[in-house]
Homo-oligomer: A and B are copies of this chain.
Amino acid sequence: MTRTLLLTVASLALANCAPADTPPLASAPPPAPAASGDDKPAPDTMRWLYGSGEAAAASIQTWRHIADYAVAVSRQRKMPESVPLGLPDAEGGVGTPSCVAEDGTMKPFAAVFDVDETVLLNTGYEYWQALTGRPFDIDEWNEWANNGAGIAKPVPGAVTGLRRLREAGIAVIFNTNRNTETAAGTIAAIEAAGTGPAVHLENLFLRGDDAMGGRKDGRRARIAEDYCVIAMAGDNLGDFADVFNANEDAIAERRALAARGRYAQLWGNGWFLVPNPVYGAWQEGSVGEVFPPDARWKPSPSDAPMTMDVQ
């Protein structure tokens, strides 16, 4: 795409000043036509998530893990406890709400899910991005959210996993950053994929339902008022607690926060991460920020060819 545009601009500019002398490019061999449209190589991130058996296997395995875990917790004889979750007023940003309602009764069990790339695959919108190379566009995204029902497929494993949860009496709650104005289209997409039902403000909460924008802690607090949340799943750390996304530029610190201490104990143990390397809050960082100094290596100089970046 870039190459095609460059050549177009260059030849337009040159055409403008011919025939003063021979255009500098005239003797160059015609460029090979760049692959375009459906023939272009897909980005590796999309090859993995939308095209690979590996990603399908990973999500089937994760959804099995979620259902096995939550169904087992729901059958325990001991007093139920909420899993820790991000809350606006909790110390450190994460708390464990009571599973006993104000009237002394037990709150019903629930599992809370992100939607995009956790329950639904946005192959339709991502196809458009891959085809055109266009960056994220909120208007296009909202059109997709409104009209993608039937094209958006379930994440492999989600239909079975959600059915098992509902059969065990566990409420399925969706907490998504799709805009509240796309509620009808989002409900249609969830139900067309076999992952419904979804009812806005009952078991579906969207960005704009409160004043916290894309931060989900407020919606989590609202859900936890009515339910005993025994499992959460998402593709982004913000699906578990907003505190993880307080500083997206602090690459190493963000990873360490998730991977060490109290939070490390929760992965696969109440919190479940569905892998999505296509987009997310992690999509930041230079080579120097992603690779810590003690994890770097270079071949011995005799093996290393001269390049522009090194030596």
Contact = CB atoms under 8 A, between A and B. Distances in A.
A26 to B, nearest CB: 13
A93 interface: no
B259 A156 contact: yes
A310 interface: yes
A268 B5 contact: no
Contacts of A47: 251, 282-285, 290
B139 A282 contact: no
- Copies of this chain held together in the complex: 2
B308 A251 contact: no
Interface stretch (A8-16, A80-88, A203-211): A8-16
Interface residues on A, range: 35 or more
A52 B258 CA distance: 9
Given A50-B291, A267-B61, A297-B144, A310 B44 contact: no
B56 A255 contact: yes
A111 to B, nearest CB: 15
B130 A287 contact: yes
Contacts of A310: 37, 131-132
A52 B290 CA distance: 8
Interface stretch (A100-108, A221-229, A270-278): A270-278
A307 interface: yes
B276 A140 contact: no
Interface string A241-285: 000100000011011111100001001110111011110101111
**Main SS at interface, chain A:** helix
A213 interface: no
Contacts of A1: 2, 308-309
Interface string A62-100: 101100100000000000000000000000000000000
A17 interface: yes
Contact of A309 (B24, B36, B58, B309): B36
A230 to B, nearest CB: 16
A28 interface: no
Interface stretch (A162-170, A176-184, A194-202, A298-306): A298-306
30 contacts: A13-B14, A13-B16, A17-B20, A20-B20, A36-B309, A37-B287, A39-B287, A40-B287, A48-B282, A48-B283, A51-B282, A51-B289, A52-B255, A54-B273, A54-B276, A56-B258, A57-B258, A57-B259, A57-B267, A57-B271, A60-B264, A61-B65, A64-B267, A123-B291, A123-B295, A123-B297, A131-B309, A143-B300, A148-B297, A151-B294
